[in-house]
Structure 1
Amino acid sequence: MMNYHMANCMNTWLHIGEKVINPVKVKTAAMELFVHQVSDAVFKYTWVVKNYSKFVAAHEGFDSPPFEVNINGMHTKWGLSIRFWKGTDGHRLLNPIVLCLNQISRKNVFQIISDDDFNESSVMSQHNKKIHISFQFGLFNHSNGQDDPISVTSCSLPAQSSQDLISVGFQEVFIKKRHLDAKGNIIIMVKLQMHSNEEKEKHTLSNDMQKMMELIQSIRREDVDASLPDIVILTAQGEDFPVHRHIMACRSKVFAELFESPVGTNGHTLHKILPRGASNFMNVHKFDMDDLSKECLQQLVNYAYTDRVKGLDAHANALLAAAERYALPGLKTLCAQSLANTIQPGNVANLLLLADRCHCHALKQKALSYCEGHAKRICKNLAWKVMEVISPKLFQEACEVGLGDSSPRLG
């Protein structure tokens, strides 16, 4: 039986009930969901694999029952599958497993088009649409009663109807003792979120704020009007970033304290300019923030106005530190999620140091989990040696999750 629970219209969580693996094909029920935007909904599917240890010994791979996600006239059918790597000797490896997400079919029944979008060119563009998929696997941890999540993965698929099986993506997953219950069962989950590249936020606050920010950053100094920015932030390279005092102060208590400081302190100066067509000079307060590069400050301001960051992957390290320094917890979360997707043997030590320095528990736990699952692939590079000297407690913590015992290279 398929059960759905709607928390709220925005950021809806839908739970697709437990499915027990069975060699008999199961016909799944389906429910249609309508939301303002497809990306408002996050779907969660749970797959219970009974007698996992015995089952994997007898099968080269196996698939979950199919499950359907029907939203705004887009009908999709999905499935999970487990496959195995083979070693150099040709024998199958039982750990780690390869967990795959597959789109079995897609059918677009109709499209909901707003009055603003209803024109010939927009209708024709429906054929060029892509659906952007974000998904996250997890394994239920029986020792603490919570899911052990794996990093979020994203990809794009053609939006048109299709009956072809498409492999959306896969992740290496390590099955630990904590993932097996007393009967040898494991519980696998996947969270699934979709949005279209044509899904526009034409009448949202974030979109309007984006326009305002672009406007004030495109004007020349002599064009500044009293109704526009009243604060200018200076970067290390001397670049000007005009902003609104109240917007930045509401977003960050650190900025609020900076802006309230007397002129002459905290890099605070007063600059007089004459706007175009005006007869009187106006005062614009300037703040020197030479700890941020132009690119980093641009993205920080973009986040403050819109809750979004463009090209986050390229600046996530610097932005995480800036988010911690200027008390922007939402930006900190975005950076942590982005960095968690980049963890690999060569950078895990650097990310542990960064997470520890920025008090980012989520990223630290992701990095430690990676160390636990990939101990034999991690060598003691310079970053590990630095960690051992400047943060011996963190180094010991990493060793305790498996590095010290399973990898003599870190000894």
Structure 2
Amino acid sequence: MAGNSSGTELMVPTVSDVIYRYTWNIRKYARNTHKRDSFDSPPFEFNINGILTKWNMGIRFWKGPEGKKLPNPVVLCLNLLSCGISEPEQIKIRFQFAIYNEEIKQWEMCHVSRTVLQLQTTQDMLSIGYRDLSILERHIEPRKGDVSLFVKLQLVQTEAERNSLYQDLGRLLNSQAGDIIICCDDGQEFQAHTDILRCRSPVLAYMISLKDENNRLDLHDMSGDMVQEILRYIYTDHVDNLDTLASSLLAAADRLKLPGLKVLCERSLLETITPESVASLLLLADQFNCEPLKKAALAYCEDNATSIKKTLAWKVMEIVNPDLFMEACEAGLGSSISSNLDSLPSDTDLNSLS
């Protein structure tokens, strides 16, 4: 559907039925970064229901205090190069970047971004959005130095958005006209619909079969914010606050048997790996059997062995999951973490935290 010279027009019930994907392979990226100030993809066109758009992706570099180009993070951009449309129309645009991890042979997904545009016929370039992205050794093809990126792009006409299934179900959830009340640990309560809950989660279906005579379902180990996002996902397949709740929602998704929510959380956490967080994410991935997250965290350990921080999580891992600790060391940390554990809290200190 997309390419350097794509001119095919698709006729579909609504624009929102189609998600485009454009893959950009940057040849010899590793060899050319010191020579070039920018990279731009070939233009690609989408023509659907009479809306003709031309796009490209670009990479720009930040500069340090002395004006020197910084290799990371780069700025990955999505640009609308031109648009042809019979009459101006408001369109919602959703897009998501990803970068290919050559070591684990999987795409590392960025967060979904959204914006609203008044589309009209124009030949002027418009920047739609950007994000900072670190291009590390694991992303570089070892023989040729290539880097692969892609963008998923969805155009949503506002009328179609307003009448989509997920919007209708979202309004149903917000109507507070359900037949069961869900009670949270902070006193918040939400109304929901037993048939929808049963269809989405076998665990909730079983809990509903045991509900009390007042049609109340107790989730007293979850906060209202957590339950609100779980219900939003159950009704609409969307989550609004993944950036702050991904770890907690991952555990809840595993417990409630919501595999789609678990995947969303895992993808979000892939983007948050840092020297300070990698140990905690390894523990989380191992506990809930998130193999892509675990592989990405181990690859991060290998690439960033010298910058891994000596956090409490490493001490906890060595005590409660020594096999995982050894796996991390074998991935590239060597004895660097183990040799520094003396500076971390002792077992007595750990016991005092419990």
**Where on the TM-score scale, by shorter chain, does this alignment land: which range?**
0.7 to 0.9
Any residues of structure 2 matched to 1:12-411 within 5 Å, and which? 14=2, 16=3, 28-34=4-10, 35=12, 36-38=14-16, 40-47=18-25, 49=27, 55-56=31-32, 59-61=35-37, 63-72=39-48, 73-81=51-59, 98=74, 100-103=76-79, 105-110=81-86, 126=90, 131-138=93-100, 141=102, 146-149=105-108, 151-152=110-111, 154=113, 156=115, 160=119, 161=122, 163-164=124-125, 166=127, 168-176=130-138, 179-181=141-143, 184=144, 186=146, 188-195=148-155, 198=158, 200-215=160-175, 217=176, 228-229=178-179, 231-261=180-210, 268-271=211-214, 285-404=215-334
**Distance across 1 between alignment mates of 2:265 and 2:223:** 17
The residue type equivalent to 1:331 in the other structure is L
- Specify which structure has the bigger relative contact order, considering alpha-carbon pairs within 8 angstroms and separated by 6 or more residues: 2
Secondary structure of 1:310's aligned partner: coil
TM-superposed deviation, 1:379: 0.9
Q: Deviations over 1:130-166 (max 9, x none)?
A: 6443211225x3x77x455354463648555463474
Conserved? CA contact 2:98–2:107, under 8 Å:
no
Q: Deviations over 1:17-43 (max 9, x none)?
A: xxxxxxxxxxx4232443422473131
| Percent identity (aligned) | 28
Give the structure 2 partner of residue 119 of structure 1.
none
The residue type equivalent to 1:257 in the other structure is Y
For structure 2, list consecutive stretches of 5 or more residues without a partner in the other structure.
342-354
CA shift in 2, pair 1:179/1:159, >3 Å: farther
TM-superposed deviation, 1:318: 1.8
The residue type equivalent to 2:300 in the other structure is Y
For structure 1, list consecutive stretches of 5 or more residues without a partner in the other structure.
5-13, 17-27, 112-122, 220-227, 262-267, 272-284
TM-superposed deviation, 1:196: 5.0
**Distance across 2 between alignment mates of 1:57 and 1:232:** 57
Conserved? CA contact 2:99–2:139, under 8 Å:
no
For the pair shown, which has the larger CA radius of gyration, 1 or 2?
Answer: 1
Conserved? CA contact 2:24–2:41, under 8 Å:
no
**Distance across 2 between alignment mates of 1:238 and 1:99:** 43
Give the structure 1 partner of residue 349 of structure 2.
none
Secondary structure of 1:31's aligned partner: coil
**Coordinate RMSD, CA, aligned:** 3.7
TM-superposed deviation, 1:252: 0.9
Task: Name the TM-score, length of structure 2 as normaliser.
Answer: 0.77
TM-superposed deviation, 1:174: 1.9
Secondary structure of 2:217's aligned partner: strand
**Distance across 1 between alignment mates of 2:269 and 2:207:** 29
**Distance across 2 between alignment mates of 1:300 and 1:102:** 31
Aligned length: 334
